[in-house]
Structure 1
């Protein structure tokens, strides 16, 4: 017999199970329709934004003089243009003054853009005592990917009997003169073929601004993936630097307000970047406006249109789970060449750790390096004209290069030049970091072709040594600038005869600098090496020997500090940190053999509580700061203390000898961005030194190191000699003891020998 109630109940449950997917599908379809309507409304309100850029002449000229004269009569200012923008208007506003001895009705200032004359300004002698202001419109049609705005002085100096081309005919621009350009944003295709464009464009000379989008709740994998990408863009931006901006998203839909006749408005739950940006999502965690992106089965990177600001693009890093986000970023940054299409799938990835000192931007210590490898274009090694900017080579040496008691770093220098008609004041001068090293007279013998190249003699007259230029090692830091300045004399016996200007000097690209035989050994802690080169972390440029320690859900300020630090390290090494690891303090194993980067005051406090603070306290005690925790973090976990301060601090790890801990910390999280600003500023971070830099609203103090340790490899004899040399009195005592001992041994030996002879006789 069948129980009716039981059968009816089963039927009801069955019908409910059948109907439930249909209801879910209906809800999903309605949500999809609503998303489509919102995106249609965003597309209707879409317009191309306009950007205005302004640079001063000082920004564009760098460290060059803003002065031209009758001999060195040209000044060129270069600037780029982005791939995704088009110039609609350009104006140059400049102020200058000039010499009162210019020849009348001859002198003029000629202005050209990319070789096309845009204006010629007459220079009248009776107006020489005035400041002259001009505004010139530059035609957008003349703009290219790279542009050169050139100012040429065509002038003579009026003498007693005739006019001559002379440095006395000068013109100087004011540094606050400006170049202002307006550009319209263009919409580019969703294609990775141009990557890293449009997120980074090498034609731009200003600091790269990067927008990162992360969920409200993040794990280590999000921090690790974002740090790797920040280091990659830092390596691409190089000297420009990187400034990051963080956006946090949730999964809630927009707040939509409906009106009559299908009209509606909506509000964003969070801010979307009004620029190109990078967003990290998984199949189960993404913003509502990106919920129509299909799920993925493997880590993937794709380019999509920013749904709110549709003129811009989003680089979407997506994976089924958070672990795949790191794989996706590793695949993108390790192999960015040959990409094409809107998506890039990472099916499998096996990245081997790189050996130490492999950083592409560091000079190789295993073989001589040619000058041609230190420049982007061969023309950078050549100069024309009687006076011009020097040939400049930027050299990044391994920060721990041991140069003690070395005569110098040899440079096998070869150069060519047009010979002067007669012996005069023509010179080639060599500078390192602005300090004069050596000068050479350019004679009339003529040097042409490979067989006539010159080898610069040693500073010491050693006839048996191969000719080379010795750079004193004590003048070389981690970042160096080697300059070769050609200076040709312009002699003319006749009035009003302009020199032909056909002089040319060239540093041969086969010239070499040789760092073979140098060891790696340096004193730590040394924050100057960290802020300038990322050392000791960048010793392995993939950061495979680095552990980043953050709290479980870092604040926006802490994440931005992570991104800033990694962009600085990427710029210094030229390689992304694809193998860095991220952990919390509780997860760091005892005896971890890695260099540690700590970000955040709470994290530093937790680290010191777990692993001890003996090495840090020794440094603080030497400065009378023992127990002054409020400089580094809030002792009671509260931010209600006397005032804000931030610090970069470094000390030896208590987990493994010879390993380094660097902490970016603040007693109030809102003050942590002060460290970011310090690290991004080349002018400010030059002063960073010692084991700690403390930043307060009033000033910045740098505290010297008192308790040192050493990292690197050095032979036992060199290590002993180096450390004993720091204690001359002790060396003198040891030498005296050794001499007395030697004398006594010789006395005993000779006395015994004499005794044996007497006994034998």
Structure 2
């Protein structure tokens, strides 16, 4: 049978089958419409409704450009990076570029190329009227190229003459303003209720803005409910890190939404016997028999998601919160039941993931945050920076320095010129190494200089020496290549194309902080706001108790959540071991560090070193003798002994809000500390929350007390200092004597005289023995 006849037969059979199906199907009656067969549900939620969208603008300053960028003829490109949340898309994008070109450029020939993710978006010509003037131009970017991580590259092509041009001429420049920005029309995606994407949509690391996540409780939340919320808030804090986090709290009802297109995720805590009022319908929200986590839609805003953390009791809520923080990779579906959460190994002191290890040398590969961080290219490459975070209580007094073993490779210069590698620490120059022609790989073993840490000590006395860099440090490597790029003479023109110069700091380079003791002078609020110390000493806060009011308001709970999340943001680990108490008498007897939220305990108000007391009736401030302490600019007072003894007391009554941070020694354990966040009204706690979320105000916190007002932060040091940590007896002896040079000189003279006397007696005894032996 031929191929054509086979096709004809198959076509005839298909027509006959279709005709039989058509005849057997019921015909629609008048007035009735045929009922279509149900379609299978799609894997992702779909809607015919227009999804909510809004414009978002990121300035270059917000994207990491603290200063303007200068593009030169030999360093003619710059890259600006931005990200987009995974649950959003960009329906439109544009670049608004502010720049000032050199007045010596040739118009039209000079221009700026704009790339988005290595795709050319367009060219901005430099016109005659732009020369030497600040110019603003807008260019559309293709939104189809915008992904979760994006790069906008600017390339400057400049010309100052049409013949014999030197690419290194200093007239070839254009200044890119940090006020330039990228505008995105972000559109929310209609997501299914699937916990497989957790922590989305509640947190996305691609979002550079501050996290704002409302928490909802039933009225009068218990200590167990607050503890579960603190654990979950600490997880989000450890994830948000430098972005910061805010946790507005409400009772019984969900936060209001402006319109149904709002996109605002929310977390709700509920037990079977104590749940918010909107969950009173047991048919819609039935009781649970185990810890349960469920994601649902907001009843008034379908694009907003609600995370229900439910349990039979408070212990179930804590288990569910830990499961969200630890087992996020196991979650899937809209509802998950937690069977078990078990701690296999307890945490150890100073093992916070955000801190560099101090028990062994650390490779640079353990400190990098993104690939190719240690590699640069170009004739004038960007500096290589490496962040080194340390515990604030490292004691390196009288140490020769920190071993820094640096391996690096580079493109060899054409001759032994002035090419060098400069190494600095927090903008403090350390050393300069020559880049020789024959050595493309080198190894240097340095020792970072050790100085006193003025950030951890609040007066001029050398109380606890530490690194000048303190707890947050930046190690910087600058490769500077000297090369002849081009030259020209009157009758002879010569242009040399520069080589593709590259340099790299090897990942096997190490920095060694092992062998140092932990010893620090307290109280030190600077260590608290910068590193969460002393509570972050144990990364999970297992040696800390937070003392909260008996009947907290929503604002007080928000302050609690943001304080704990701030500590976890600095340690990089959730506070699984934190404990809460509303009984000061019982908490103060335990061998733990105390974080006090609310009013000062009655037995602490008579402390002679107390520097501030906030009450509902009046406010009291005690100042040291002859000094105004530490002001908002961190200027330190005199270091003379006795200057910190309280000598003045002021009491006022006012209506405007005021809050305070107070540090002191525990009255029952001399190695433990108390940090109190004091306030009376909700307005006071809002001042505290604002200060804890503002990096500029946190930089002004120091000493033993910091007053927070609408005008800013005022810090001072008052009262006696104490020490936390341990030192060997010989090191402690020398350190104590170092603060009394006159006594040390007297002891030295006495020691010399005593040694001379003993030596004289020994020689006399030996001589007498020899004489008696001869006799």
* TM-score bracket relative to the smaller structure: 0.7 to 0.9
Structure 2 residue aligned with 1:184, among 181, 184, 187?
187
1:329 is displaced (CA, Å) by 0.8
1:356 to 2:349 alignment = yes
Q: Tell me the residue number matched to 1:583.
A: 581
Distance 1:507 1:590, change over 3 A: closer
Contact 2:211/2:243 (8 A) holds in 1 = yes
| Alpha-carbon distance between aligned partners in 2 of 1:44 and 1:379, rounded to the nearest angstrom | 42
Q: CA deviation at 1:280?
A: 0.7
Alpha-carbon deviation of 1:400? 1.0
Q: 1:656 aligns with which of 641, 645, 669?
A: 669
Indicate the residue corresponding to 1:470 in structure 2.
Answer: 448
The residue that corresponds to 1:221 in the other structure is 224
The answer on 1:732 being equivalent to 2:732 is no
Q: What SS does the corresponding residue of 1:164 show, helix, strand or coil?
A: coil
Identify which range, 679-688 or 403-412, moves more after superposition.
Answer: 679-688
Any conservation in 2 of the 1:402–1:520 contact (CA below 8 Å)? yes
Q: What is the SS of the residue equivalent to 2:238?
A: helix
Q: Secondary structure at the match of 2:373?
A: helix
> Residue in 2 aligned with 1:283?
272
Q: Which of the numbers 273, 282, 303 marks the counterpart of 1:311?
A: 303
Residue in 2 aligned with 1:535? 533
1:356, distance to aligned residue in structure 2 (A):
0.5
Aligned to 1:414: 407
Query: Greater CA deviation, 86-95 or 157-166?
Result: 157-166
> How far is the alpha carbon of 1:121 from its aligned partner?
1.5
Shift of 1:544: 0.3
Equivalent in the alignment of 1:717:
730
Aligned length: 678
For the residues of structure 1 that align with 2:200 and 2:650, how far apart are their CA atoms?
45
Quickly say closer, same or farther: Cα 1:238–1:506, change in 2 above 3 A: same
Question: Corresponding residue for 1:347?
Answer: 339
- 1:230 counterpart = 2:217: no
Q: Secondary structure at the match of 1:538?
A: helix
Q: Distance in 2 between matches of 1:416 and 1:65?
A: 30
Q: Greater shift after overlay, 505-514 or 479-488? A: 479-488
Per-residue CA distance 1:190-249 (angstroms, 9 max, x = gap): 222121121111111222222211222111112211111111111111222212222222
Partner of 2:289 in structure 1? 297
Q: 1:337 to 1:730 in 2, by over 3 A?
A: farther
Residue pairs, 1:40-59, within 5 angstroms: 48-59=51-62
For normalisation by structure 1, the TM-score amounts to 0.83
- 1:668 to partner: Cα distance: 3.7
How far off is 1:44 after superposition? 12
Per-residue Cα deviation, 1:382-428 (whole angstroms, up to 9, x for no partner): 11112232111111112111111111111110011111122333222
Q: Is the 8 A contact 1:418 1:446 kept in 2?
A: no
Cα distance in 2 for partners of 1:580, 1:496 equals 70
| Residues 102 and 173 in structure 2, CA contact (< 8 A), matched pair in contact too | yes
Give yes or no for contact 2:60–2:179 (8 Å, CA) kept in 1. yes
Is the 8 Å Cα contact of residues 270 and 311 (structure 2) preserved in structure 1? yes
Distance in 2 of aligned mates of 1:64 and 1:114: 23
CA offset at residue 582 of structure 1? 0.1
Q: Secondary structure at the match of 1:388?
A: coil
Q: How far does residue 687 in structure 1 lie from its aligned partner after superposition?
A: 3.0
CA distance in 1, matches of 2:383, 2:237: 28
Q: What is the CA distance between 1:501 and its match in structure 2?
A: 5.2
Displacement after TM superposition at 1:697 (Å): 2.7
* Residues 148/590 of structure 1: CA separation in 2 closer, same or farther (3 Å cut): closer
Instruction: Note the alpha carbon deviations across 1:90-123, whole angstroms, 9 max, x for none.
Output: 2222221111122454311111111111121122
Q: Give the distance between the partners of 1:182 and 1:372, measured in 2 at CA.
A: 37
Quick check: 1:616 aligned with 2:594? no
Write the distance in 2 (CA, Å) between the matches of 1:503 and 1:415: 14
2:68/2:178 contact within 8 Å kept: no
Quote the Cα distance in structure 2 between the aligned partners of 1:425 and 1:109: 32
Q: Deviations over 1:533-586 (max 9, x none)?
A: 100100000000000000112122221221221121111111000010000134
Q: Does 1:678 align with 2:691?
A: yes
- Which structure has the highest helix share of the two? 1
SS in 2 for 1:111: strand
Report the 3-state secondary structure (helix = DSSP H, G, I; strand = E; otherwise coil) of the residue aligned with 2:214.
Answer: strand
Bigger mean CA deviation after superposition, 367-376 or 328-337: 328-337
The 2-side partners of 1:228 and 1:90 are apart by 38
**Alpha-carbon deviation of 1:176?**
2.2
Change (3 A) 1:578 1:593: same
On the 8 A contact 2:622/2:650 being kept in 1, the answer is: no
275-284 or 118-127: bigger deviation: 118-127
The 1:424–1:718 alpha-carbon spacing in structure 2 relative to 1, beyond 3 Å, is same
* Alignment partners' CA distance in 1, 2:176 and 2:165: 27
Using the TM superposition, give the Cα deviation of residue 175 of structure 1 relative to its aligned residue in structure 2, in angstroms: 2.6
- 8 A Cα contact 1:48 1:184, kept in partner: yes
Q: Is the 8 A contact 2:365 2:507 kept in 1?
A: yes
SS at match of 1:719: helix
Q: Is the 8 A contact 1:391 1:485 kept in 2?
A: yes
Among 678, 686, 697, the alignment partner of 1:665 is 678
Using a 3 Å threshold, how does the CA distance of structure 1 residues 427 and 326 change in structure 2: closer, same or farther? same
Structure-2 separation of matches of 1:617 and 1:378: 49
**Partner Cα separation in structure 2 for residue 287 and residue 219 of structure 1:** 13
Which stretch shows the higher mean deviation, 237-246 or 70-79?
Answer: 237-246
Q: Given the superposition, is the C-alpha separation of residues 62 and 162 from structure 1 closer, same or farther in structure 2, using an over 3 Å criterion?
A: closer
Shift of 1:152: 0.9
Question: Structure 1 residues 296, 45: CA separation in 2 closer, same or farther (over 3 Å shift)?
Answer: farther
Contact 1:527 1:692 in 2 (8 A): yes
Structure 1 alignment gaps of length 5 or more = 1-42, 255-266, 448-452, 457-466, 632-639
Change (3 A) 1:500 1:306: farther
CA contact (8 A) 1:242 1:680 kept: yes
- Compute the displacement of 1:498 (Å): 6.4
Unaligned 5+ residue runs, structure 2?
A: 1-45, 452-466, 488-492, 613-620, 626-644
Query: Larger deviation: 490-499 or 217-226?
Result: 490-499
Distance in 1 between residues matched to 2:387 and 2:697, nearest whole Å: 20
CA distance in 2, matches of 1:498, 1:112: 27
Please say if residues 490 and 499 of structure 1, whose CA atoms lie closer than 8 Å, have aligned partners that are also in contact.
no
Contact 2:543 2:578 in 1 (8 A): yes
Alignment of 1:463-502 (within 5 A): 467-472=445-450, 474-493=467-486, 497=495, 499-500=497-498, 502=500
SS at match of 1:221: helix
**Matches of 2:48 and 2:415, distance apart in 1:** 72
The answer to whether the 8 Å contact 1:585/1:606 transfers is no
In structure 2, what is the equivalent of residue 742 of structure 1?
755
Contact 1:231–1:567 at 8 Å: present in 2 too?
yes
3-state secondary structure, aligned to 2:759: helix
Shift of the alpha carbon at 1:596? 0.2
Q: Are the aligned partners of 1:231 and 1:570 in contact in 2 as well (CA < 8 Å)? A: yes
* Structure 1 residue 641: Cα displacement: 3.5
Q: Determine the structure 1 residue equivalent to 2:503.
A: 505
Partner of 1:70: 73
Matched residue, 1:101:
104
In the alignment, what sits opposite 1:455? 443
1:323 partner SS: helix
Contact 2:422 2:431 in 1 (8 A): yes
CA contact (8 A) 1:550 1:584 kept: yes
Preserved CA contact (<8 Å) 1:630 1:667: no
**Whole-angstrom distance in 1 between the partners of 2:269 and 2:205:** 24
Distance 1:417 1:300, change over 3 A: same
Counterpart in the other structure of 1:572: 570
Rate the CA distance shift 1:160–1:341 in 2: closer, same or farther, 3 A: closer
Instruction: Give the match for residue 86 of structure 1.
Output: 89
1:438–1:156: structure 2 CA closer, same or farther, 3 Å change rule? farther
